[in-house]
Amino acid sequence: MKRLVEALFGVVALTGLPYLWYLCLYYLRRPTGTPADTRPQTPPVSIVLPTYNEAAIVGSKLENLVALDYPMDRVEIVVVDSSDDGTAERVETFFAGRSEPELTLVRRDEREGLATALNEAYAVASNELVVKTDCDSRIAADAVRTAAANLADPDVAAVTGRNAEVIGDSDVERGYRNLQTRIQMLESHLDSTLIFHGPFSAYEREAIVPIDEDSMADDTELALKIRRNGDRVVFDPDIRYREAAHSAFGKRREQKDRRAVGLLRLLWRQRDALGRHGTYGRVVLPFNWWFMVVSPWLVAGTLALATVGSLAVLGPAGLAVPAAVVGVTALGSRDALGPIQPLYSLFDAQISLLRASVALLRDRDDETHDGTWDPDRELREVLQ
């Protein structure tokens, strides 16, 4: 029993030390944001919008884009569409009679995945600044201006922003994104951040390179490749967007698990970047490997050891440990944990990463992950 307790404490300590180290590093550096050139920057921008069966919400998304605080005569909107629900026709109707912004509509007869569509859209984008955004998100009026200010730094070739308001009122997602914001602020001050967000990412056009056609983490993959080519890729909390998200445990799994699979697969494919590219490869990537690859298994091991130990000491009453985990999960998925809700958000992310690890181990050839996705109809209802 003594060895079991020692093993449990050892696993808990091993799991928590990297997080404690990053927390200490954060308070030592105290990052307050990402420095950007404060002079007005309005370079010509191409806004890339991939769509698939978004007829119900594409109009409101386009309204969001044309209302940006940016000179529309310097904006090109590139829509790449493979829908069968009339999305492309609604886009054309929206732009009928408008002289600006300029529309470039790329119609695809067959659906070949998001990464393939993005590669084509990036190739036809004509302006020096390229912004990628998703149809099921809304970006702040000053987002493009703030991105342009970041990209005025000659060392920075890509920038992403934060989810400032979760559409759907998900405290689970809000708590996780708040924690993620602090991590990405620190990473950007150390060197570069890893994760880029689909609702808003901006790139220097000349820095863009093709992404894998089966990519499930296209924005992060592009940012990682840009960093490997020598430019910084940063997170700016002043770039704000809103994205729809579920809180309920079951509904979150498909959304979060898919993202987790994409990130894990990307880390594995780009594993040779570890230890290279300055602080990015020596600090940022190792921490993300720990958080995404190692920590979920240690968390699972901690719960398993705690269950075995409690059963050994208390007998059947030891089942209180897994019962408590189930109870916390049920309360957390209902946003009912009060001040410890952010910690549940972190635990929720670890669940998705563990499930994604298992899925990838079972599917070693990635045969079931082709880069396509199905729109979440329930989430889109809140955007209409």
Residue ranges and CATH numbers for the domains of the chain are 45-247 (3.90.550.10)
Indicate the range of 84-93, 176-185, 290-299 predicted with least confidence. Answer: 176-185
Q: Which residue has the higher pLDDT, 371 or 223?
A: 223
The answer to whether the bond into 101 is cis (omega within 30° of 0) is yes
**What is the edge-to-edge ordering of all strands in the sheet holding 156-167?**
102-107, 75-81, 45-51, 129-132, 201-204, 156-167, 232-244, 137-139
Q: What's the CA gap between 218 and 221, in Å, rounded?
A: 5
Q: What's the DSSP call for residue 113?
A: -
What are the φ and ψ backbone dihedral angles of 171, each rounded to 5 degrees? -65, -30
Distance CA 359, CA 351 (A): 12
184 vs 34: CA distance, rounded Å: 10
For residue 299, the surrounding DSSP H or E stretch is: helix 295-314
Q: Which residue has the tokens 């996780």?
A: 176
Does residue 367 carry a pLDDT above 60? Answer: no
Q: Please give the average per-residue pLDDT across 140-159, as a whole number.
A: 95
Q: Which residues pair with 160 in a beta bridge?
A: 201, 235
Counting Cα atoms < 13 Å in the Cβ hemisphere of 353 gives 22
Tens-digit pLDDT profile for residues 198-253: 999 999 999 999 999 999 999 999 999 999 999 999 999 999 998 876 556 566 66
pLDDT, tens digit (0-9, with 9 covering 90-100), for 60-102: 999 999 999 999 999 999 999 989 889 999 999 999 989 899 9
Our CA dihedral for 220, 223, 225, 229, rounded to 10 degrees, sits at -160
CA quadruple 125, 57, 211, 281: dihedral sign: positive
Judge contact between 151 and 323, C-beta under 8 A: no
For the chain, give the mean pLDDT. Answer: 86
Report the sign of the C-alpha dihedral through residues 12, 17, 23, 27, in that order: positive
| Dist. CA 44–CA 28, nearest whole Å | 38
Kindly state the DSSP code that residue 70 receives in the 8-state scheme: S
DSSP string computed for 209-227: ----TT-S-HHHHHHHHHH
Query: Residue 13's pLDDT is what?
Result: 67
SS (H, E, C) 152-188: CCCCEEEEEEEEEEEECCCHHHHHHHHHHHHHHHHHH
Cβ pair 159, 233 in contact under 8 A: yes
Confidence grade of residue 291 (pLDDT, cut at 50, 70, 90): very high
Rounded Cα gap, residues 82 and 8, in angstroms: 51
What pLDDT is stored for residue 344 in this prediction?
83
Identify which of 11, 339, 43, 38 has the alpha carbon closest to the alpha carbon of residue 204: 43
